[in-house]
Structure 1
Amino acid sequence: MSGSIAQGTSQTHGNTHILHFLVRLPRPMEDVWTAVATPEGIGAWCTAVGVLEPRLDGAVSLRGLGAGRITAWDVDRVAEYTVEGGRLRFHLERDGTAESVLRFTHEFQGEGPTDMDWRRKFEQLIAVLGAGSGA
């Protein structure tokens, strides 16, 4: 069982950049949820978390990405963090019984992480989830 990162897409509208990724992950949605919606999970593959209040309109602070509010929260499915100058959305879907798909969007103004930066982060996410599988 292994994950894969589909080609990311990038759009620019004026000063707004939108990156999309489709990431196939070797774990059920419930396991991936922990990786995208808890400080320990996000810290293991993406960035350090200063605060994350796990609820709609909860506070969130992600090192290097900014601080703001949780603007969508559907447990085990959707976590959206709107921070200074941007928005990160993690949308999970089932892929069979033991795997899942992450649809990721990062919308931001000005400079931000590149396609390759996110690709490296998702490779780390796949590695972290694979290590947790006991395989």
Structure 2
Amino acid sequence: MSGSIAQGTSQTHGNAHILHFLVRLPKRMEDVWPAVATPEGLSGWCTAVGFLQPRLDGAVSLPELGSGRVTAWDVDRVAEYTLEGGGRLRFHLERDGDTASVLRFTREFRGEGENEAVWRTRFERLIEYLGRG
């Protein structure tokens, strides 16, 4: 079973950027959650993790993306990391039948270096990562 990555959308306001993706995943929300909410999961497909305190207002360090706080935490559904300098990653999981889920992803950042293609590649790695589990 494979997942699919819907077309991402991006908005730019000055040097502030917002990316949105809808990713259909061939695993249940509960099975996807560790991939977006644990150091082992995130480092398996997305980015290195210096540390992550898995709770609201916990500290997070993603060396490639920045450090900050956990600003939303609803186990098995929502993990949001707000990083210094105005960056944010939000993973929102929803059920898609009994055996699949949908990830609604938002990335806000300033400056350059990230774009739809970078995140599309990351989500392809996520689908591969989930397939190994």
TM-score normalised per structure 1? 0.95
| 2:63 counterpart letter in structure 1 | R
Query: Who is 1:4 aligned against?
Result: 4
The more displaced of 39-48 and 103-112 is 103-112
Q: Which runs of 5 or more residues in structure 2 are unaligned?
A: none
Deviation at 1:131, TM superposition (A): 1.7
Distance 1:25 1:63 in 2: 26
* 1:8-87 equivalence runs, <5 A: 8-85=8-85, 86-87=87-88
Query: Who is 2:126 aligned against?
Result: 125
Q: Which runs of 5 or more residues in structure 1 are unaligned?
A: none
Query: Who is 2:96 aligned against?
Result: 95
Please give the secondary structure, in 1, of the residue aligned with 2:44. helix
Please give the secondary structure, in 2, of the residue aligned with 1:49. coil
The RMSD of aligned alpha carbons is 0.8
Deviation track 1:58-109 (CA, whole Å, cap 9, x = no partner) reads 0000121000000000000000000122000000000000100000000011
Q: Alignment length, in residue pairs? A: 132
Aligned residues with identical type, % of pairs = 77
TM-score normalised per structure 2? 0.97
Please give the secondary structure, in 1, of the residue aligned with 2:57. coil
Distance 2:19 2:31 in 1: 24
Distance 1:80 1:7 in 2: 21
